[in-house]
Amino acid sequence: MNKVKILLTLLTIAITVTPIVVEVLIYRDNLLGLIIPPEITDLINGDNNSSNSIGNNNVIDKLLNSQFELPKPVGDPQYDPETRTLSATFSFTNPLQTPISIDKVSSGIVSHDDGFFIGNLTIDEPIRLDPGQTADITITSILSDDAVDYLKDKAEDQDSINIDLIDLNVDLAGIQVQLDKQNIGDISIPSQLFG
């Protein structure tokens, strides 16, 4: 009976360990290929074929040294008192060698200085950017009464407010990117708040 128990234990270990060992041997020259999906590798490399070679950490280097920059504000934010909608336009350039599609953006907006919650932002429609193309992205947010009062109070002493995005979720053609917190700097307080 002990021989059967030992044999079954060894068989269980072999069944569990063998596939892992085989995968490591297959990817022995490209261990990052076990972790980074080929679609991500292709996106970063700008490849349209399925070679997916990561050799010598090229993908990591390209990702870390890419020309990704935060979107830059274009003009001043606008506020529509009838719909209580705040909208702001940002310019973004695709630094990759492949087109990207920004399908969805959602985030909370808080004051960097005191953490006051101002609202949630979204984009109006999906955006497609070819390599090197720059596009304007308009984000919108519905403001609560408290947020409008907060911005009016801040506008008495200053003309802009330092903003953080919290729980930022971006859907780039099916690839989900999430950041817990990202400071986007000073944004002008819309003059339409006082109209």
CATH number at residue 95: 2.60.40.1820
Phi and psi angles of residue 113, each rounded to the nearest 5 degrees, phi first = -75, -45
Does 87 share its domain with 56?
A: no
Contact 180, 157 (CB under 8 A): no
What is this structure's pTM? 0.61
How many Cβ atoms from other residues are within 10 Å of residue 49's Cβ?
7
**For the residues 168-186, what does the mean pLDDT come to?**
83
Tens of pLDDT, residue by residue over 126-147, are 889 898 899 888 889 998 889 9
Contact 85, 141 (CB under 8 A): yes
Token pair listed for 18: 């063998």
Closest CA to 120 of 64, 169, 160: 169
Q: How far is CA 79 from CA 20, 33, 149, 188, in A?
A: 56, 47, 13, 11
Last-in-domain residue among 64, 91, 109? 64
Does 43 share its domain with 86?
A: no
Confidence of residue 98 (pLDDT cuts 50, 70, 90): confident
Cα atoms in the Cβ-side hemisphere of radius 13 Å centred on 98: 15
Cβ-proximal residues to 111 (8 Å cutoff; 6+ apart), any chain: 118, 150, 154, 161, 162, 163, 164
E strand or H helix at 24: helix 2-26
Confidence of residue 116 (pLDDT cuts 50, 70, 90): very high
Does 41 share its domain with 122?
A: no
Determine the pLDDT at residue 117.
93
Closest CA to 112 of 180, 168, 184: 184
Tens of pLDDT, residue by residue over 5-32, are 888 888 888 898 888 888 888 877 777 7
Does 16 share its domain with 98?
A: no
Confidence of residue 195 (pLDDT cuts 50, 70, 90): low
Tens of pLDDT, residue by residue over 147-171, are 989 988 888 888 888 999 899 888 8
**Domain residue limits at 112:** 72-194
Determine the pLDDT at residue 52.
41
Determine the pLDDT at residue 67.
62
Count up the domains in the chain and report the number. 2
Tens of pLDDT, residue by residue over 41-78, are 666 555 544 444 444 445 445 554 456 677 788 888 88
Determine the pLDDT at residue 53.
43
